[in-house]
Amino acid sequence: MLVGRRDCEGHTFVTNDDFTIGVEEEYQIIDPATRELLSRAHLILAAAQDSVGDSVQFEHYLSQIEIGTAIARSIAEVRSELTRLRREVIAAAERNGGRIAAAGTHPFSHWGAQEMTPKARYVEVAEDQAQLSREQLIFGCHVHIGISDRDSAIEVMNRSCPWLAVMLALAANSPYWLGTDTGYSSFRTEMWSRWPTAGTPHPFSSRADFDNLVLSLQSTGTISDGTKIYWDMRPSARFETIEFRVTDVCMTVDEAVMIAGLARGLARTCYDAAIAGEPSPQVRPELLRAAKWQAARYGLDGKLIDLDAMSSVPAVAMVEALLAYVRPALESYGEWDEVAALARGTVERGSGARRQREIFARNQRLEDVLDFVIAETARG
């Protein structure tokens, strides 16, 4: 049952800290000569932090680097922040002999050739997860939406999960792995799904229900703390946010803005539905898993599962269904026109995965794919 925030007359309200947006992106560091991954995060981080401070951080491998935007209150602010941070990280990489690429997997670099970042957190993960950690050469986008009420965050998560597959399809950007076309639009999703605390969470009855599960996972030695829960969506263990974690890192700023806008629109729509007392959708976890797999496999180039009608429909139909669902929320923020245009443009142009394949088809060179991704990553 939702515990909403109400004033003395019983009216629901939203604080200034609610429905803010923060975006984290994980990037590849590329050798411009070979297009292999390049372990220079320690050099690039030092150079980038001179201009952006702690907005840039290490990731699991030294061939990865992560940025995190400042808290934004509009997608215009998200766009400005992502453009600024990408520009500064790209400049820092170039000063240290590297390039930056935003794709969910590298097309051909091998995980065995990477140097792990020497931080206690990553050492602990490597010891716990063994081979899964060694193969963790993937790159995602995480969107934090501010929700100060802890029970409200759980309601939003419960109600958002049936729509996550559509967001994944829009952002699918990882077709290649170890020199092979995997047949998947988001192979990163399949690599990540092997982890014990990955996947789409089952519904929770309350925040206490969620907290009890976290305690049980800790007491059984499954995780050491709440930050080790890696679901497609989760309440943040550190911030008063709900975190969308389902998508690959987006190739372009436009696509990242699209995902951020959809995430906030979905979170606000689900919050309002809960406050209004609308019944929460009840979807079997097996069907949620099937919908996510379909999205990872085909992206926008096949059919997606309509979990309401229990049927397979063209991807464009599910994108339109998501847009219709979140439209009132997006209109309330004055962001409907931009987000709808970005989503429809992505359907027409093709996901990052399709565009990577189109580049490869020209000359059968994965190096050309990297050159294309590098150029698109830099395009503000």
Q: Provide the pLDDT for residue 15.
A: 54
Decide if pLDDT at 211 tops 60.
Answer: yes
In the numeric block, which tokens belong to residue 279? 């019944």
* pTM of full prediction above 0.85: yes
In the numeric block, which tokens belong to residue 277? 């007392």
Nearest to 268 by CA among 159, 343, 150: 159
Q: What is the DSSP string of 331-372?
A: HHTT-HHHHHHHHHHHHHH--HHHHHHHHHHHHS-HHHHHHH
Is 380 within 8 Å of 253 (Cβ atoms)?
yes
Nearest to 200 by CA among 172, 224, 232: 232
Q: What is the mean pLDDT of the chain?
A: 94
Measuring CA to CA, how many Å separate 188 from each of 172, 311, 359? 9, 25, 20
Q: Specify the CATH architecture of the domain 21-378.
A: 2-Layer Sandwich (3.30)
Q: Provide the pLDDT for residue 1.
A: 30
pLDDT tens digits, one per residue of 7-20: 333 333 345 679 99
The domain segmentation of the chain, as residue ranges, is: 21-378
Q: Provide the pLDDT for residue 17.
A: 76
Q: Which residues pair with 165 in a beta bridge?
A: none
Average pLDDT over residues 79-107: 98
Average pLDDT over residues 293-314: 97
